[in-house]
Amino acid sequence: MAEQIVWRGSSSQWKNFGRYALAVVGCVIVVLIFIAASHAASPQVRAFSPFTLLLLLVPMLLAFVRYLELKTKVYELTTERIKISRGIFSKVTDTLELYRVKDLETRQPFLYRLVGIENVQLNTSDASSPFVLIQAVPSGIGLADKIRNQEVIIPRDKGVREIDVE
């Protein structure tokens, strides 16, 4: 049976809410500095005041980079594995076979509950990634249940068993 995509998506931009709020505060501060400088008594300060608006680029660029970082991190759940791709210019893809998932945990901090998103943490037997955190996905899609359903089917269909040795 060919591998099929069960779910594909990225984290919600609500994850960056705090950074976006700080960017807005930074822009407001720059505008206030511009207004104060343009009303200054000194003609040299008034002449320099339009250049203070260039400082608006800093918080805007920082917010845009965070937006791109989150938007380009894509989670893909297939019938056999979970793929996590990230990167703006260069792509890196991590793959986790579903039969390695030992436990699932969903977490919804208070603010995430208000906007309907959740974090899904996978505890795995994979040595390179013992914990996989899928952040800020919509809680209505039931991602944890989809992972659990696929995790149960895989060992049965492929005849795979994992043994814990201590």
Q: Is residue 134's pLDDT more than 80?
A: yes
Answer yes or no: are the C-beta atoms of 120 and 137 closer than 8 Å.
yes
Mean pLDDT of 69-84: 95
CA–CA distance, 138 with 132 (Å, rounded to integer): 17
CA–CA distance, 44 with 61 (Å, rounded to integer): 28
Token couple for 123: 């505890």
**Whether pTM exceeds 0.85:** no
Mean pLDDT of 45-54: 86
Mean pLDDT of 46-68: 92
Strand order in the sheet with 131-138: 101-107, 117-124, 131-138
Q: What is the pLDDT of residue 156?
A: 65
Q: What is the pLDDT of residue 160?
A: 65
